[in-house]
Structure 1
Amino acid sequence: MRRNQAQQHHQQLTRNSTSRKDTWIAVHVSVDHIVLPHTDLNFAAQLVANVTGIAPSGGGSHHTAGTRNIIFPLGASYLELVTVDDHIVAAGHPFGQLVTAALDSCRWAAGWAVAGPTDPVRACTLERAGVAVSVQGCDEAAAAPDRPFILERPSDQPFPGDTENPTELTRLVVTGPDVAPLALPPGPTELVRRPGPAAIESFTLARPGLPPITLNRDLWSTR
């Protein structure tokens, strides 16, 4: 069943994609959230709030992963600011490894997630304050942040991105050695894949009544 779903998603993206000389563009991709790492979580949260005009809402410690996060809700998606609190614990958990790899490599963005079914054999649990999700592919994403990891959230669990003041994630630009189409769930975000070292290049937010804003590696140098 999952194999058929993946094939359907691939066909959907193929129908909604445009090939260009050096760019492969897929529209209507659903991004659950984007992970932004920083060694100083409070500083990063204040900076993101100043730059985007979005107020943080929620977050906490992932005790089994050695990480801690702050959530910036967008509505259909969200930004997850995250840091490592316990490097020993983080080294033993795929999500902790993802965040550690990004910090060690000075990446402005650690990865991005799509919602979908996970494999119980390959997935692991990520918990904080009574909230638990299943994640898969964090180890692969640590080496290739242009590719998403998968997150499965219980149907009765609130979505962290819910907000009365939504901001649309309109575009996500990634670079990687392979620009072939990915089998991803359809959604509102345009995914742009370009040849280059594996990385998240930028993403664009559309704020009600305000000009769109594009965030990239210069975010953490903003004052």
Structure 2
Amino acid sequence: MTAGVDHLVVGTASLEPGVQWLADRLGVAPAGRGRHHRYGTHNALWNLDGGTYLELIAVDPEAPDPGRPRWFGLDRFSGPPRLVHWVLRRPDLDAPWAAEHGRPTPLTRDHLAWTLTVPDDGGLPVDGSGVWPSLIAWDGAHPSDGLDDAGLALDRLVLSTPAADSLRARLVAAGLVGHLGNRVTVTPGPVALRAELRTPGGPVVL
């Protein structure tokens, strides 16, 4: 798969209340669920468009301690569910700057296999804001292939950061040229991450 927005990450302190909150916002129930034994987390998934999906993720209270920091800063997550991060898909993770986004970590779940950059401290990459993406490369099947199409789509991902020029240059270098100024917008300003979605009930902003 070519470079693009792979998925959005919504954090929640507890999965089931988060599922209810997000399903109410989107007007659509999740199309899939899963567990990540290596990191002691579980999730629910919604299909967006064009090989993109939305992931709601939380610490799994039934999982044993993973013996390592959980990804996406979930060990420190508190408060209501919210969009915390996004993941950029690349065919490979061998760019010299990729290590700045975390350690490439091979992972599997059921029939899925992928490599994701994960910082050693389990936090969000580069500056901890969630605006700079994690990088992912899939080996074969993609999660969106098995998720029902419920009429959801990502219209625009807006990334605001004081380091806008640096982030924009990094995304161009990552191969996201076709999305910049269209699906992905990088703007200078205070750190903020916003996803504009189309749903069966109308536009929704996360």
Fold match (TM-score > 0.5)? yes
Separation in 2, partners of 1:47, 1:75: 21
Separation in 2, partners of 1:87, 1:196: 38
1:212 corresponds to which residue?
A: 203
Report if aligned partners of 1:102, 1:110 keep a CA contact under 8 Å in 2: no
Separation in 2, partners of 1:163, 1:101: 31
* 1:112-165 C-alpha deviation (Å, 9 max, x unpaired): 01111124984002332342211015552571311111111123x143264333
1:118 corresponds to which residue?
A: 93
Q: 2:82 is paired with a residue of what secondary structure?
A: coil
How high is the TM-score relative to the length of structure 1? Answer: 0.69
Separation in 2, partners of 1:102, 1:115: 25
Report if aligned partners of 2:9, 2:54 keep a CA contact under 8 Å in 1: yes
Q: Greater share of helix residues, 1 or 2?
A: 1
How high is the TM-score relative to the length of structure 2? Answer: 0.74
Runs of 4 or more above 4 Å deviation: 104-107
Q: 1:42 is paired with a residue of what secondary structure?
A: helix
1:2-13 aligned within 5 A: none
Report if aligned partners of 2:93, 2:104 keep a CA contact under 8 Å in 1: yes
Q: 2:164 is paired with a residue of what secondary structure?
A: coil
Q: 2:150 is paired with a residue of what secondary structure?
A: coil
Aligned positions, number:
181
How far apart are residue 193 of structure 1 and its match? 2.6
1:177 corresponds to which residue?
A: 162
1:5-154 aligned within 5 A: 30-76=4-50, 77-85=52-60, 86=63, 88-89=65-66, 92=68, 96-100=70-74, 103-104=77-78, 108-116=82-90, 117-119=92-94, 122-138=103-119, 139=123, 140=125, 143-154=128-139
Report if aligned partners of 1:123, 1:137 keep a CA contact under 8 Å in 2: yes
Report if aligned partners of 1:98, 1:141 keep a CA contact under 8 Å in 2: no
Identity of aligned residues (%): 24
Moved more, 32-41 or 170-179: 170-179
Moved more, 128-137 or 115-124: 115-124
Structure 1 unaligned segments of length 5 or more: list them: 10-29, 216-223
Q: 2:148 is paired with a residue of what secondary structure?
A: coil
Q: 2:202 is paired with a residue of what secondary structure?
A: coil
